Amino acid sequence: FFYLVSGGSGLLPGTSTMAFLPAPRAALSVLVPGEAVVHGARGAWVSRGAGDGAAVGLKEVHDSQSASREIEALRLLKGSRNVVVLHEFFWREDEDAVLVLEFLGTDLATVIGEGGVGVAEAKRWMVQALSAVDECHRNMIVHRDLKPANFLVSDDGALKLADFGQV
């Protein structure tokens, strides 16, 4: 659910600036405004860490309970090869959470919709999907929303499970 788009205002919906985003505590040091993106019912944004210019996905979560569950799950799964990386998170003044996530260019639903996948790649991705689910279960996490749109695909073809708000 993170798509890099060209252009865009760089603004979060309902705001005139991204000034309310405080500097993250650790790895990214400073976020600079990026492109606004929307996918389905979710809003997400792409920004860049000022230090290395690497793209990161910003996911706003309006429900504090869902945000807390997602943060805790991603903390437990830190280091899992087939789970999206949570770099940082912070709470906005309106009590929404903003998760700073690894940026991944597309999701499995989009890839399938754009013409499908070959047998070899389908087998490789099935192993990766099962690896992600196995890692969740080893950490006593039940994802509860496994679907192609929640498996993100990196530029190098790695499949990573995302969207842990329903765990």
Q: Which residues pair with 39 in a beta bridge?
A: 42
Position 150, amino acid: N
pLDDT at 24: 37
State how far the Cα of 158 lies from the Cα of 146, in Å rounded to an integer. 17
Tell me which DSSP letter residue 162 carries: -
State how far the Cα of 57 lies from the Cα of 34, in Å rounded to an integer. 10
Note whether 61 and 96 are within 8 A (CB).
yes
pTM metric for this prediction: 0.73
pLDDT reading at 162 higher than 50: yes
Catalytic residues: 145
Per-residue pLDDT reduced to its tens digit, 56-71 = 788 888 899 999 999 9
> How does DSSP assign 59-114, residue by residue?
EEE--HHHHHHHHHHHHHTTT-TTB--EEEEEE-TTS-EEEEEE--SEEHHHHHHT
